[in-house]
Homo-oligomer: A and B are copies of this chain.
């Protein structure tokens, strides 16, 4: 029988770590796992299903695998992803390098899985903030038609990787001991602070992170008429991004209708019982595969519109989990080519 081989590029980073944890329990049927990282991390061993796997240096040519889960940053992917795919592997890329390439599908399996089937070697994984929002917004858009979407984010430090989390912990410790907080991963000290600046500023005054939410949501939903505005804000949390979302709808919806709709939508956990103090929070959403959705209420600015609050583990649905789910989807559809090997 043919053996399916999966490779992780960027295995030693925060997302790589989550990729291995998700693959450990994935329904993806595969036989071999290859781990790649930068020369700095090569030679390390990482445990996977009880076995020690040695991390190798990321190849600059074809990767002899069937699926490559890449999370090594935009510039590495930009330079190498096409080469990794040359031997026939499908590269599921977590960076922003190919998301806006019309030849490359941008996929959240619950929303537009079928788009993955038309790949030409590379499939893009969306930005974490987008992936989390779109799981909740897509079913609403399909049934009620979203016209305008206003998003304010509460983003965790792990959005900047393991180093982001480490900086929050280290610098918070300093502040608690009366020392000033420093910073290197973030533009300013993050302990007990709020930084409305994630990724580079664009000419229109929005950050790239904010524009990603607009660009990517439109591409995933296949609707360029959607008006989307985002304010992306880094806050002193470790993992899970939260988002306050206001939706103007073409067809009016009630909160009960939205709750009912989302209760039957994949990838969503409706957590919305304010009497019981149940609403989305990083504390409960971290480590969870589903995106928590709650605070569902009638919009006070758009007749028949909806306000809601979401919290999703951005290392999972916003990155590692979504990538593995794309591979699972391809396999279920019989679209994962397994190469003949010696």
Contact = CB atoms under 8 A, between A and B. Distances in A.
Given A154-B235, A231-B244, A309-B231, A193 B297 contact: no
Given A205-B274, A295-B205, A281 B176 contact: no
A334 interface: no
A33 interface: no
Interface stretch (A7-15, A62-70, A195-203): A195-203
Nearest to A190: B283
Nearest to A303: B227
Interface in A277-300: 277, 279-283, 294-300
A80 interface: no
B152 A244 contact: yes
Interface string A54-65: 000000000000
A148 interface: yes
Contacts of A197: 274, 277, 279
Given A301-B150, A301-B229, A235 B194 contact: yes
B150 A297 contact: no
A298 B244 contact: no
Contact of A228 (B150, B176, B294, B300): B300
A152 B274 contact: no
Interface string A187-213: 111001111110001001110000000
Given A173-B176, A205-B296, A237-B236, A194 B282 contact: yes
A276 to B, nearest CB: 10
A173 B177 CA distance: 10
Given A194-B311, A229-B300, A189 B150 contact: no
Interface string A180-191: 000000011100
Given A193-B281, A205-B295, A229-B246, 12 more contacts: A150-B301, A176-B176, A188-B281, A196-B279, A196-B281, A196-B295, A197-B274, A201-B274, A204-B298, A227-B300, A227-B301, A231-B295
Considering the complex of A and B, which 7 residue pairs feature the smallest CB-CB distances, nearest first? A205-B297, A152-B152, A231-B244, A229-B300, A152-B244, A201-B274, A227-B301
Interface of A: 148-150, 152, 154, 168-169, 172-173, 176, 187-189, 192-197, 201, 204-206, 214, 227-229, 231, 233, 235-238, 242, 244, 246, 255, 274-275, 277, 279-283, 294-302, 307, 309, 311
